[in-house]
Structure 1
Amino acid sequence: MTQFERFFDPSTVSLKICGVTRLADAEQLVALGVDALGVNFWPKSKRYLAPEKAAWLGFLRGKILRVGVFVNENSDTALRLVQDGLLDVVQLHGDESPADAKPFRDAGVPFIKAIGIKTRDDLALATDYGAAGLLLDAHAPGVYGGTGETFDWDVARSFREQNPGLPVLLAGGIVPENAALAAQSVSPAALDIASGAEISPGIKDFQKVTALLTAIRF
């Protein structure tokens, strides 16, 4: 099984640490056995990394799944970073429509679509994207992730049960203290955590990361 397949395999819960901004932190995630990291290329993010400063991602190729997070952006930058060997997966974390995802489908580039959940109706178009996986997060208009807020996990569990062939990633307010409950309640393919694994925005707390890994390996 490839790194990509393991991450999206619903039979186990993987861990993605998002908002990584430094190579040293990324290398520590690799050493701990974290499955994936996310790098935020949205300029308004507290964890923003400019694409021209992302060359260090190349050193991690084959060591950890590298996910680039983009918000309502033209597909050209994301596709270029994949073609340059800096990213393995693209994450569309804005208000993108299924039509906006077409360039990635056409290029054969795997992508995750993030959807902010307020009610079950927010999932109406979820299966239309052709995504490798869906990231279900707390509904936070204009914030686009990293809020530290949870949502009703029953919605995520119900959607996963109704769509067993579509990997579900769970985000929003997950910390070491509730990670095991999140994993057991929803049985997602992965937990996606930013603020719950930090000292400050973009700077990772490896005691928390270790605790998260322990929590999901039940």
Structure 2
Amino acid sequence: MHHFFHPSTTSLKVCGVTLESDAHQLVAEGITALGVNFWPKSKRYLPPVDAAKFLPALKEKILRVGVFVNAPTQEVLSLLKEDIIDVAQFHGDETPEYCAPFAENGHPFIRAIGVKNADSLTNIHDYQASAILLDAHAPGVYGGTGDTFDWNLARTFISKNPTLPVLLAGGITAENAAEATTLVHPAALDLASGSESTPGIKDFDKIRAIQAAISTAQ
């Protein structure tokens, strides 16, 4: 498994990349993972045909994560098999049954969970996910809202599941990244709105500040 998923240190994933230049800059800044959003209703949507123009060249330079919301299985598999992405992230209403073929065929995937309360975190292991992403509960929007949730729920979940890589998302900014790292100790912080000037356009001053905050907190 890629070192991004190692629970002992907190990495950084910058999600919602839409520009080739931003993707290359993330590599130059030493960011561990990037996410591209393949959900057509997202304000950070990147059509797969556009992603295919620049993501293959970034193989092994940065972990390439494709974000999907209730996508046809075949669409996800083709992007994995064509080596456009390394990891799928399921951010919709995908069931354990939906996820099963990916787990059975050795395709790494992240299952995102919108955390409303402690009950949101039951039966997580049914998904057989490579990693779990905990995000603010956002019905119908599926993340990227800039809202946070009660991080104590995440901290408790991680302490009960020490070997499961857990990513923390939802309103992470330079102001709270150090606290998130210290309190929760996630395998990674996941940024979307906290890393951009406008949706899909990255702000590298913000990203550098968050990187520095994570480093200081470890």
How would you bin the TM-score normalised by the shorter chain?
over 0.9
CA distance in 2 between partners of 1:139 and 1:151 (Å): 8
Report whether the alignment pairs 1:149 with 2:147.
Answer: yes
Residue number in structure 2 paired with 1:32: 29
- Paired AA for residue 168 in structure 2: L
Q: What are the Cα deviations for residues 89-123 of structure 1, in whole angstroms up to 9, with x where unaligned?
A: 00000011111101211221000000000111011
TM-score (normalizing by structure 1): 0.97
Q: What residue number does 2:203 align with? A: 205
Cα distance, 1:33 vs. partner?
0.5
- 5+ residue gaps, structure 2, are none
Alignment of 1:45-60 (within 5 A): 45-55=42-52, 56-60=54-58
Alignment partner, residue 19 of structure 2: 22
SS in structure 2 opposite 1:91?
strand
Give the AA of the match of 1:29: L
Provide TM-score, normalisation by structure 2.
0.97
Matches of 2:205 and 2:43 in 1, distance apart?
Answer: 21
User: How far, CA to CA, are the matches of 1:217 and 1:178 in structure 2?
Assistant: 13
Post-superposition shift, 1:18? 0.1
Match of residue 111 from structure 2: 113
CA-based RMSD of the aligned residues comes to: 0.7
Deviates more, 1:205-214 or 1:122-131: 122-131
Cross-structure match for 2:78: 80
Runs of 4+ in 1 over 2 A off after TM superposition: none
* 1:136 maps to 2:134: yes
| SS of structure 2 residue aligned to 1:101 | helix
In structure 1, what residue type is equivalent to 2:64? R
| Cα separation, 2, equivalents of 1:92 and 1:131 | 10
Q: Secondary structure at the match of 1:43?
A: coil
Residue aligned with 2:183, SS = helix
Q: How does 1:63-102 map to 2 (within 5 A)?
A: 63-102=61-100
Secondary structure in 2 aligned to 1:54?
A: helix
SS at match of 2:89: strand
Number of residue pairs aligned between Structure 1 and Structure 2: 215
Aligned-pair CA distance for 1:165: 1.2
Matched residue type, 2:88: V
Q: Partner of 2:18: helix, strand, or coil?
A: coil
Match of 1:175 among 170, 173, 185: 173
Give the drift of 1:22.
Answer: 1.0
User: Which whole-Å CA distance do the structure 2 matches of 1:146 and 1:59 have between them?
Assistant: 26
1:5 Cα deviation after fit = 2.6
2:102 maps to 104
In structure 1, how many angstroms separate the alpha carbons of the residues matched to 2:73 and 2:182?
A: 35
Equivalent position of 2:8 in the other structure: 11
CA distance in 2, matches of 1:217, 1:9: 16
